Amino acid sequence: MTSEIKKFTRAQRIFEVKFDPRLKAYTFWGTAIFLIIIIVGIVVLPFWLIFGYSYVNRYYENLFCELTTRALHFKKGIWFQTERTIPLDKIQDLTYQEGPVLRYFGLSQLKIETAGQSVQGMADMTLTGIINSRNFREMVLDQRDLITDKQPSSSATPGKIDSDDDMITLLKKIHETLQKIEQKTG
């Protein structure tokens, strides 16, 4: 695990994402509409209308996302902070999405799906409001392809046994090791 952390710290920054300021209005009004829809939220709505904009500004200032040579790093949150690092070789798909509400605010979303995610059809991470998100998507996919093309294929796995003689030698060593273990325990 520590070797993985060291790999990411040595990675060079390729691009730091800028978030669109319209994300503030989208977040503010989206939350207000959500509070109107849920009955309990109507009690909270006046407080949101008074204090929500300052909260959204602080949230926006804490957003951070960067693409490095090996991973995608993302940070968000004020009270509950989230920091994610997704290795590029684990990214299976980056979905670009614009719905009518996002389009109204001039925004889009990138949904990142990785290998081994727990729920089928759900994104591992969603980034909303990235400026030039289509270009950023292409940059991430290009860098991912560079990383995965450099990795050895499964047929060229290190330590692969090439001949029957190598297999026999390996089996003899395993047999000797097992005999030593039996002698110590028996």
Contact 104, 87 (CB under 8 A): no
Predicted confidence (pLDDT) at residue 28 exceeds the cutoff of 70? yes
- State the average pLDDT for the chain: 84
Backbone dihedral angles phi then psi of residue 114, each to the nearest 5 degrees: -115, 165
Q: What percent of the chain has pLDDT over 70?
A: 83
Please give the Cα distance from 175 to 184 (Å, whole number). Answer: 14
Q: Give the pTM.
A: 0.67
Q: What pLDDT, on the 0 to 100 scale, is given for residue 8?
A: 46
111 touches 95 (CB < 8 A): yes
> 68-125, pLDDT tens digit by residue?
999 999 999 999 999 999 999 999 889 999 999 999 999 999 999 988 655 555 668 8
Q: Is 153 helix (H, G, I), strand (E, B) or coil?
A: coil
Average pLDDT over residues 156-171: 68
Q: What is the pLDDT of residue 157?
A: 46
**Where are the domains positioned within the chain?**
83-178
Neighbours of 91 (CB within 10 A): 22
Contact at 8 Å (CB) between 98 and 20?
A: no
Evaluate whether 117 touches 84 at the Cβ level (below 8 Å). Answer: no
pLDDT reading at 131 higher than 80: yes
Residue 139 gets the label, from left (phi > 0), alpha (psi -120 to 50) or beta, of alpha
CB 83 within 8 A of CB 75: yes
